[in-house]
Amino acid sequence: MTENKKIIETVDENGNVVNFELFDIVEFEDKEYALLTNPDIDNDEDIVVMRLLKDDEGYSFETIEDDEEFERVAEFIESIEDEIDDED
């Protein structure tokens, strides 16, 4: 069975193209956040979280610059993971 992987191409602050695989989208505090993994690195622990923005032209990803916002989102994601682990 073949998985439908959604590969997202982004450009980092140095102008380098970086590919990510869209792992999941979560909603928190009326905003959406994309959980991305790097398909070139075989490590599920390295998840990148970016704010997901929608407009008329589609979607864009934004780095979370606010440390407090990032911490709240990270804690929310960890709580979801803990709930899933408890169900297993």
Query: Domain extents for the chain?
Result: 7-87
Where does the pLDDT of residue 80 fall: very low under 50, low under 70, confident under 90, or very high at 90 and above? confident
Element (H, E) at 10: strand 7-11
pTM assigned to the model: 0.77
CA neighbours closer than 13 Å in the CB half-sphere of residue 12: 7
Instruction: Pick 50 or 42 by higher pLDDT.
Output: 50
Q: Which amino acid is at 16?
A: N
Which residues, including other chains, have CB under 8 Å from residue 2's CB and lie 6 or more apart?
none
Instruction: Pick 30 or 85 by higher pLDDT.
Output: 30
